[in-house]
Amino acid sequence: MDKRCLKTALKDLPMGGLRYLKTVGSTNDAALAWAADGAADFSLVVSDEQTAGRGRGGRRWYTPAGAALAFSLILRPQVEEREKASLFSALGALAVVEAIEKRALQAEIKWPNDVLLRRRKVCGVLTEMVWVGDQIDSLIVGIGVNVAPSAVPPAESLAFPATSLETEAGQPVNRLSLLRDILFALRRWRPLLGTPAFHDVWESRLAFRGETVEVCVEGQPSRSGQLAGLGQDGSLLLRSPAGEILSLPFGEVHLRPVV
């Protein structure tokens, strides 16, 4: 990957700006700094390697050189998008799912925003918000996809089983064309954020639907129930053994199937 190939791959997308870094600590950190410096909406930071990639819940995200797709998109939400800010991570996950589906693989979303292939994690999304006073000034949507098998961290360090796109596809996957497809899908779904169409497509790709799952919300006892679907606001609906529907809002949530 280099800046020239990246520019060519994204030439028909209206990027706000584009930065390619051969190596970086975290593309989210580089994007946060650029946003503070006035980056325009839909500006992108892409790197071939992260030395301090960040995951959700303060975890590390492994991005060895040349093996993964790691990027952060800077969005300047419109007024009407600000109240839907919690849905931007799902937007990122959905865009990745669609790009993977173009490669004839069936991807699913482990609520709220991990992308799975054959029930193994292939992509994570870390969205960070920058506030100015009581308003969201910018959103950084950071996306990491395990493209080559060497992007998958050692099994003993994983909280959830993982895989790579190439392992599942059984053939090489071009990272730049994958990035292009993700960005196109993101642009297509962004105006539909929070609409029934967005809700339905997200719900249709939900992993473990109808299965019994265990959900741990930080600081609370874990609960299990049948994964019933998504609430209108994107919350997770769990059916308790007594048949009650429980709605779980976004937060630091860990979800796994009960086997």
- Please return the burial class of 23, using the count of CB atoms within 10 Å of its CB with bins 0-12, 13-18 and 19+: exposed
State the minimum distance, in angstroms, from the CB of residue 133 to ligand BTN.
26
Q: What are phi and psi of 184, to 5 degrees?
A: -65, -45
Specify whether the CB–CB gap between 71 and 143 falls below 8 A: yes
CB closer to ligand BTN out of 110 and 225: 110
HSE toward the beta carbon, residue 14, CA cutoff 13 A: 5
Q: Give the 3-state secondary structure of residue 44.
A: strand
Q: Which is nearer to ligand BTN, 54 or 205 (CB)?
A: 54
* CB of 31 or CB of 230, closer to ligand BTN: 31
Q: Shortest distance, CB of residue 175 to ligand BTN, whole angstroms? A: 13
2 Cβ contact partners less than 8 Å away, ≥ 6 residues apart: 20
- Residue 206 beta carbon to ligand BTN: minimum distance, rounded to whole angstroms: 17
d(CA 115, CA 195): 21
Applying CB under 6 A, which residues contact ligand BTN?
Answer: 26-28, 50, 53-56, 59, 61, 70-72, 114, 124-126, 142-144
Q: Which is nearer to ligand BTN, 153 or 192 (CB)?
A: 153
- Amino acid at residue number 244: E
Which letter does DSSP use for residue 130 in this model? E
Closest-by-Cβ residue to ligand BTN is: 124
The smaller minimum CB distance to ligand BTN, of residues 118 and 245, is found at 118
Q: Answer for the pair 127, 114: CB distance below 8 angstroms, yes or no.
A: no
Give the nearest distance from C-beta 124 to ligand BTN in angstroms.
2
Residue for token pair 């700094």 = 33
Tokens of 35: 């946003």
Min dist CB 225 to ligand BTN, Å, is 23
Could you tell me if 189 and 91 are in contact, meaning their C-beta atoms sit under 8 angstroms apart?
Answer: yes
Between 61 and 189, whose beta carbon lies closer to ligand BTN?
61
Give the shortest CB-50-to-ligand BTN separation in angstroms: 6
